[in-house]
Amino acid sequence: MSVRIIAEVGENHLGDLDRALEMVGLAASSGADFVKFQSYGEEDLSAEVSDETRTWIRRTQLTVDDHHRLSEQAEQCGITFLSTAVNVKWAKVLRDLGCRAVKLASLSLTNHALLSFAGESFEEVFVSTGMGEIEEIKQALEAVGTRTNVTLLHCVSEYPAPDSHASLLSIPYLREKFHCQVGYSDHTIGTAACIAACALGAELIEKHFTLDKTLEGTDHILSADPVEMAFIAHGCRRVSNMLGALDKRPTEEELSNRTSMRELFVP
């Protein structure tokens, strides 16, 4: 199956619904399969959160009506609406909205109630593994269960993540360890890590998406703009097509060339 691409708007709309709606269309035209947002509200924050963070969440939160608008826009643009649920309450909102898939962030890797609900309620669950230990990942998969298709996303929860921390070999390691689909959620700057992840067999690529890398917020600098997202989508699919099977055998064209080429020179 060809690699799938998530254009993660996340908080990069900065609380502007019109900008968010525009980004849905641009994500679709870039060739992404999913356009992803984040589902949370100020009321979901813990009491220990700083006033600065609380103000930011209040600014960037999306209402349930906003979710409906964005989902409708995605359908009109021919791209799948996706969102990250921070708790069961928001997972229920996404389920009732008709979402077939849900994304769970790295911070939810040990939230077994949310993982279990997602496994029972969605056809696909994408689980980011940033900050996670192997035992925590194992327990997360057990919580999701076997009722749904699950994809683990290798992720490094640094914003941005330096190249030396990307640890892309974790992708085949996780696949061998857990025998499931594995993708990559990228926090490095640029497009190289996404292409390399595909070369290592990533089946799902998530990249933050922005209209302007100079905007306020931590994610814009590590995000892809529409031109870069199109490059990622095209490049990843090309690389995915190049991989072939875990095997080594001549192609039909090679077989037809074998005799003439091997007899070209005298031994």
- Local confidence pLDDT in tens for the 267 residues of the chain: 589 999 999 999 999 999 999 999 999 999 999 999 999 999 999 999 999 999 999 999 999 999 999 999 999 999 999 999 999 999 999 999 999 999 999 999 999 999 999 999 999 999 999 999 999 999 999 999 999 999 999 999 999 999 999 999 999 999 999 999 999 999 999 999 999 999 999 999 999 999 999 999 999 999 999 999 999 999 999 999 999 999 999 999 999 999 999 999 998
Does residue 125 lie in a domain region?
A: yes
Does residue 267 lie in a domain region?
A: no
Does residue 235 lie in a domain region?
A: yes
What DSSP letter does each residue of 135-199 carry, written as one string? HHHHHHHHHH-SSSEEEEEEE---SSPPGGG--TTHHHHHHHHH-SEEEEEE-SSSSHHHHHHHH
Does residue 99 lie in a domain region?
A: yes
Alpha-carbon span 150 to 123, nearest angstrom: 9
Does residue 186 lie in a domain region?
A: yes
Query: What total number of domains does the chain contain?
Result: 1
CB atoms within 10 A of CB 21: 18
Does residue 179 lie in a domain region?
A: yes
CATH number at residue 159: 3.20.20.70
**What residue numbers bound the domain in which 17 lies?**
4-262
